[in-house]
Structure 1
Amino acid sequence: MSDELSHAALGSVRERLFRLDTMAYSLQHFIFGVANAAAIPVVVGSALGLDAVEIGALAQRTFFFAGIASLTQAFFGHKYPIYEGPAGVWYTTFVLLAATAVQAGKPLELLRTDLMTGLFAAGIMTILLGVFKLMPYIRKLFTPIVNGTFLIIMSLQFSSTIARGLLTTVDGKAILSIDKLGVFFVAIGTILMLSLKAKGFIRSMAVLIGTVVGWIVAYATGVAQSLQTIAAQHQPALAFPQIFAWGRPTFDVGVTITALMAGLVVLSNLVASVSGMDELYKRKEKVSIYSKTAICTGVADILAAIGSVVGFIPYASSIGFASLTGVLDILPFIIGSVFMVFLGLIPSVGNFFAAMPITVGYAVMFSVFIMIMGMGIKDAAKEGMDTRKTVILGFSILLSNVITVLPVQAFSILPSSLIYLMANGLIIGVTIAILLEHVIFRVNLK
């Protein structure tokens, strides 16, 4: 009887596989994944000192491993249509560590290999949290005020990086570029207008459409390189992404500790994604699903280290995407993820996205962080803002900003292994918020 049922289920999948609506929904998932990942290699690659060819390879690897990570979750993890992509915490950490390394005089080539070791360590830690079913305890750390503080700080931290992307050098002085500002606001305006005014599929594709419009304006104003530059880069039609593209992993205590902290912080996004999808599917929340999801995310981070890409996390935006489109079937998501993997086998696609003007990339990130900032404010105020919560929020954010504006040289009194950790305003701010919430100003519930 079980064989008959399995054959019947397989037949049902085969019938659905070639239906027009299934293919349309699959393309929709695929475009959603591309839209969320396309700008990140440009922003991170630029911060890490990669040239255009290396950024193209990073984009190719990002698509490939994001598809693999999403399929891993679909089959072995939460089994929801949640896109597993480059985490905001991870790429913010990469960019901030790069800025710190430049100030400290550390070669970015060495930082890149240090980051691979950090991702390995964070991946193993996340797997262990899942194996030993410790995720419920991690969930308790990230109360609404802590989660809100984290999201607000992350948004503020990235703003300085975006500001640098709007500058140009004239006579040795950094000044605002009118052309870059124009491209920046056209891209942001398109994304926000579509997000607020459009409906259905067009609204869900606001980021991708805004990216294309900003890119066109960038070419028209001379901010972007020409398409001839892309075409001149000869690449094979298909190629497997390079493994350990940044070299053999190296170890730095400060970078590894920072990565472990980032790995813990990013788990709040994992919990939000799965719990939100539980509500959407109207299913009773199970503790085991968080353990399975954590294990798969840990595996994804190890794959990210091997592939030399930004670490992954289940995207909370997938909840909004599923709610907006009304598509809860897992099959189109699986097909869309397979498309992502295939996209990662085409080097010319990576080269194409590497040609994206960095200003457009920053515009996409800015629009994303507008929403993240809003989510942070909502989380912080979810249960009301009394004096205690105001102190936790205000103290953590202000201390984080103080640390961010201090030059790295101010931390030279510390051991070199701790500089990356202590100079990271995001990690310190969130750590302080957790200590204030759960230790110093702890509320004893009876």
Structure 2
Amino acid sequence: MNKKYFNTSFSILQWFVFLLANAIALPIIIGGIFYLSIEDISTLMQRTFLVVGVSSFIQAWFGHRYPIADGPAGSWVSIFVILGQVAMHQGQSAKDVLQLLEGGLIIAGILLFVLGITGLVHRILRLFTPLVTGTFLLILSLQLSGVLLKGMMGLQGAVTHPDYTTATIALFVFALITFLSIKGKGWMKSYAVLLGISCGWLLYAVLGKSSHMPSHTPLVKLPELFSWGTPRFDIGMTLTATLFTFLLVANTIAAISAVKQVAPLSKEHEKQTLNRGVWVGGISHIISSLFSTIGIVPLPASAGFIQLTGQKKVKSFLIASLILAGISFIPSIVNFISLLPGPIANAALLATFVQVIGISFQSILREELNQRRLTILGISLLISLGIMFLPESAFSGIPSSLQYVLSNGLLVGTMLVILLEQFWKE
């Protein structure tokens, strides 16, 4: 009985740390992009914890019903980054851009809800072949690898020179998690992510690099609604959010498909699972706008985490989600958790993406890679990855509505592979 209780407790803790690691890194990155104050980043993190916890719980309870962590979408981060860069070129304030992003989240949320609740998502399901899903996962992993590596090196906000001590610790955490996930025995393999983060945090403390908690915090604090202001809408954001909805559907399909490969729990019809996952995802996006956070989506990296740890129990996942949502109301706990060094969180996430890249190749290879599919894959990867290396000014001469779309390598690459798959028939 004690052993069962111990295993359940550690399973909950493992899921909690994974949810936390996903929730903590991207708000710090967004704070750096928009030059938010430390206080603003802290409150953004508080709201993110709440939305991630609630969204993960409702998805696992009556959405897709899999233990798939919801978290700030790396794909939405690319939109935030691009909009931030466009705003700087056009002289807009960060507040204006963040209000536009709130509007974009609402548009995407409504579209997802309609597609899921009406079952129309299955009209576009044929677009998401194994090649499309695998290519999406591969581009997403490669795009986020740059963001995560920068985070591991301490290159966040206005920082332009890497902190090599920080980078060494983060690299050690990445290597430790990867090593334990492959060579670890028993509980060490199951808790690779937790052990890696703990060791990294301890090294930070020993080297005196840990931050200090604020001395005065209220006992309980409610997250603020529309912290960035009233949502705004324009043609560019409406177009971007509409196209981006297809990407969000691809993300949901990829997450569910990837987790099904490593944790085939449900015997339910795939159509019902996807319908619920999509319309609940719409609700999550509207909640994200309401609490002014990055768009929250099911994370394909969850499959990598399950493969790393063997944690497949939905009950443990539900409890961990509720704990994360609950602690968002207690500033002292949020402040303590926010002390988790960003580079360590980035390193842990990068380790899970090693598995996601493997899953992307498995998806791509589910069908024979003939000359047609190889060419489609090659074109999509070259164009999407090429866009990521273009300078910020490359699209400055075109309307802002097109800048949002064309400067996003993940969006362009996914749309390209979908179009080529549909119009280039064998």
Q: Shorter-chain-normalised TM-score: which range? A: 0.7 to 0.9
**Residue of structure 1 in register with 2:165 after alignment:** 179
Mark the CA change 1:220 to 1:92 in structure 2 (over 3 Å): closer, same or farther: farther
**Partner of residue 89 from structure 1, selected from 66, 75, 85:** 75
Equivalent residue for 2:184, pick from 198, 205, 223? 198
2:129 to 143, 151, 155: 143
Q: Which of 221, 242, 247 in structure 2 is aligned with 1:265?
A: 247
Amino acid at match of 1:254: G
Aligned AA (1:49):
Y
TM-score normalised per structure 1: 0.82
Q: Between Structure 1 and Structure 2, whose CA radius of gyration is higher? A: 1
Distance in 1, Cα, partners of 2:186 & 2:249? 30
> What are the ranges of 5 or more consecutive residues in structure 1 without an aligned counterpart?
1-17
Q: One-letter code of the match for 2:197?
A: T
Whether 1:231 and 2:214 are equivalent positions in the alignment is: yes
Gaps of 5+ in 2: none
Q: Select 1:253's aligned residue among 227, 235, 245.
A: 235
* Structure 1: distance between partners of 2:311 and 2:166: 38
Q: Identity over the aligned pairs, expressed in percent?
A: 34
Q: CA deviation at 1:129?
A: 0.4
**SS of equivalent to 1:39:** helix
Is the CA contact (8 Å cut-off) linking 1:115 and 1:256 kept in structure 2? no
Note closer, same or farther for the CA distance 1:277–1:252 as it changes in structure 2 (3 Å cut).
Answer: same
Q: Does 1:442 align with 2:425?
A: yes
1:410 aligns with 2:391: no
Determine if contact 1:56/1:353 at 8 Å carries over to the other structure.
Answer: no
Q: Matches of 1:104 and 1:371 in 2, distance apart?
A: 40
Matched ranges for 1:7-406 at <5 A: 25-102=11-88, 105-162=91-148, 164-165=150-151, 166=153, 174-221=160-207, 224-227=209-212, 230-232=213-215, 234-275=216-257, 276-277=259-260, 280-281=264-265, 283-318=267-302, 330-406=314-390
Per-residue CA deviations over 1:322-351 (Å, capped at 9, x if unaligned) read 677777654443333221221111112332
Q: Partner letter of residue 197 of structure 1?
A: K
Give the AA of the match of 1:258: T
Question: 1-side partners of 2:315 and 2:159: how far apart?
Answer: 54
Seen in structure 2, the aligned counterparts of structure 1 residues 49 and 195 have a Cα distance that, compared at 3 Å, is farther
Superposed displacement of residue 388, structure 1: 1.2
Partner of 1:12: none
Letter matched to residue 68 of structure 1? V
Task: Find the residue that maps to 2:124 and give its secondary structure.
Answer: helix
Residue-pair matches, total: 419
Alpha-carbon distance change, 77 to 178 in structure 1, aligned in 2, over 3 angstroms: closer
RMSD: 3.2
The amino acid that maps onto 1:265 is L
Residues 72-122 of structure 1, C-alpha deviations (whole Å, 9 max, x = no match): 224432334333333332334434543454455543332222211111111
Cα 1:327–1:405 change in 2 (3 A) is: closer
Structure 1 CA distance, aligned partners of 2:232 and 2:416?
Answer: 29
The 8 Å contact of residues 393 and 433 in structure 1, kept in 2 or not, is answered as yes
Q: Secondary structure at the match of 1:290?
A: helix
Cα distance between partner residues in 1 of 2:193 and 2:308: 15
Rounded Cα–Cα distance in structure 2 between residues aligned with 1:173 and 1:327: 37
Whether the aligned pair in 1 keeps the contact of 2:85 and 2:392 (CA below 8 Å) is no
Is structure 2 residue 384 aligned with structure 1 residue 429? no
Kindly tell me: are residues 355 and 327 of structure 1, through their superposed partners in 2, closer, same or farther at Cα, counting changes over 3 Å? closer
Contact (CA 8 Å) 2:307, 2:355: kept in 1 or not?
Answer: no
Mean CA deviation greater in 75-84 or 325-334 = 325-334
CA change 1:56–1:93 in 2 (3 A) is same
Residue deviations 1:236-285, cap 9 Å, x none? 12212111122222224334433333332132332244454497126142
Q: Aligned equivalents of 1:94 and 1:313: distance in 2?
A: 15
What TM-score, normalized by structure 2, do the two folds share?
A: 0.86
Indicate the SS of the match to 2:269: coil
- For residues 390 and 43 of structure 1, the distance between their equivalents in structure 2, rounded to whole angstroms, comes to 35
